Amino acid sequence: MIRLHHVPESRSMRVLWLLHELGLPFEVIEWPFDKTLRSPEFLALNPVGRVPALELNGRNLFESGAMLEILCEGFDTMGMWRPIGHAERADWLVWVHFAETISQHSAALTQQHIALYDDAMRSPTVMQIEAKRIAKCYGAMEQVLSQQDYLLSDFSAADIAVGQAVYMAKHFAPLDEFAGVTAWWERITERAGYKASLPEGPRLYAKDFYPAWT
Ligand SMILES: N[C@@H](CCC(=O)N[C@@H](CS)C(=O)NCC(=O)O)C(=O)O
């Protein structure tokens, strides 16, 4: 039994996207992005009150990167995984975990622009620095994606992990200056698995873009 605990547009979206690509039967429980994630019920699923949480055959798992690895290892028949011994194994791991390098900046910016409830708490300096650090990440991706269609030789869970990280990051740092990343983004978001992971109801990001304050 696979049950994903999900907040639309958050990091749990990367697990949802992978589950759609893998074509597995699964259940989704949606949670609001609020103090409910600190309830005893949710803390039993993820001890730090974060999404995603994943119930997998009687175990409660946390950490989205680990979930991608575990799901690919256990269930991939669609070319999403690069197993031990595969020539692209190291690069697959690097990119699956690079998603967190991007997401830490998006998380800081989500806090700055959305979660803080009083303007006096927001910092233009933090907003500017974190947006620049996202652009630096796009630059690293551009080195690869200006040369090839996907992060590896073909679409994989690495594109899902980084693609979902870019989904969040695009709300704070535009892709415009990165032609290879932009073409990749258009390519991967054509996929049915991506489209199926998009929110149908309440959204975390009310706006498409949140410019840094100056
Ligand atoms: N490294 C963790 C990070 C999880 C995380 O921080 N998720 C965010 C949503 S993107 C969250 O639940 N935030 C709620 C909070 O900080 O209270 C993972 O990838 O699963």
40: CATH = 3.40.30.10
Count of the separate structural domains present in the chain: 2
pLDDT exceeding 90 applies to what percent of the chain? 99
Q: What per-residue confidence (pLDDT) applies to 172?
A: 98
Query: Model confidence at 13, in pLDDT bands (50, 70, 90)?
Result: very high
Q: DSSP 3-state assignment of 85?
A: coil
CB within 8 Å of 45: residues ≥ 6 apart: 5, 53, 55, 60, 62
Residues 120-175: tens digit of each pLDDT:
999 999 999 999 999 999 999 999 999 999 999 999 999 999 999 999 999 999 99
Q: Find the angle CA(140)-CA(70)-CA(159) to the nearest 5 degrees.
A: 30
Q: State which ligand 1 atom lies nearest to the alpha carbon of 107.
A: 10
Residues 103 and 161 in one domain: yes
What is the pLDDT at residue 196? 98
Confirm whether 201 is domain-assigned: no
At 94-135, the pLDDT tens digits run 999 999 999 999 999 999 999 999 999 999 999 999 999 999
Mean pLDDT value of segment 75-92: 98
- Print the domain residue range for 48: 2-75
Reported pTM: 0.98
Nearest atom (ligand 1) to Cα of 99:
19
Tell whether 122 and 164 lie within a shared domain.
yes
Last residue of a domain, one of 40, 75, 110: 75
Give the CATH number for residue 175.
Answer: 1.20.1050.10
Question: Which mutation among 50, 71, 111 tests ligand 1's pocket best, with the greatest number of atoms within 8 A of CB?
Answer: 50
Do 9 and 62 lie in one domain? The reply is yes
Mean pLDDT over all residues of the chain? 98
**124 part of a folded domain:** yes
Whether 202 has a pLDDT exceeding 90, the answer reads no
| Tokens found for residue 104 | 């830490």
159 and 94 belong to one structural domain: yes
